[in-house]
Structure 1
């Protein structure tokens, strides 16, 4: 059996003052287009997951986050056909700026109990139960 490449992706569950979590709809033309996901992205070589999120949240959502505002929460480990995904999910309750969809089709602020109503990639779906049960 050939070894699969390991892909490290960092994601954030942004939680607003009403306890809602931000999810983002993947744009047309991208793999898994139309599905909803937590914001974040691929960790670059030499980059920490926290530095990745600081960069990605600024690029994707036009907000500024500091490392002190990122709390490690839970992680997903999912075997896709051509790679294995390891995805730490951080909670973030503080940021500067207004959340704006710069790269996504749409954004939604969703109560944790309603996250299951949105179709998500296979790796994101198990994280919903953790958010629902612990937020």
Structure 2
């Protein structure tokens, strides 16, 4: 059996129904692709706590983990590992998102995500987000 890689991500949704994506920096796997902010769940960490920690580190925003709404997930083989990517929505936070670990941030309508180069695991999330609007 392959090792499970648990990753959490958030679709931050603003008052206009746009979602936030960030561009992966040079030197990282899948550099230049657009993704939902988030990161790995550490051992003995629940997914919501991981997302609170990751979004503070990556974007400089703060929120209560109870503000997260589970939306969907993706399951994908990565060779000797298997990715489980859990997507949550977040509609309220404190602070202005800034690209601390990304090349750029962009607010887009869900349909506009189709024009962006995204990692394979993120692509199925587009239709789910379009259905929310």
- TM-score category, normalised to shorter length: over 0.9
Check conservation: 1:27, 1:33, Cα contact below 8 A: yes
How far apart, in 1, do the equivalents of 2:55 and 2:35 lie? 13
Structure 1 residue aligned with 2:42, among 38, 41, 44?
Answer: 44
Check conservation: 1:57, 1:65, Cα contact below 8 A: no
TM (norm. structure 1) is 0.95
How far apart, in 1, do the equivalents of 2:80 and 2:124 lie? 20
Deviation larger for 9-18 or 82-91: 82-91
Deviations 1:96-126 (A, max 9, x none): 0011110000000000111111111111111
Structure 1 residue aligned with 2:100, among 92, 102, 113?
Answer: 102
2:28 pairs with 1:30: yes
> Is there any run of 5+ residues in structure 1 with no aligned partner, and where?
none
How far apart, in 1, do the equivalents of 2:119 and 2:3 lie? 18
DSSP 3-state at the match of 2:124: helix
DSSP 3-state at the match of 2:53: helix
Check conservation: 1:37, 1:121, Cα contact below 8 A: yes
Deviations 1:61-120 (A, max 9, x none): 000021121001111111122311001100000000011110000000000111111111
Structure 2 residue aligned with 1:59, among 31, 53, 57?
Answer: 57
For the aligned residues, what is the CA RMSD?
0.8
How many residues are paired up?
A: 133
Question: Mapping of 1:76-87 within 5 angstroms?
Answer: 76-87=74-85
How far apart, in 1, do the equivalents of 2:131 and 2:77 lie? 24
Equivalent in the alignment of 1:92? 90
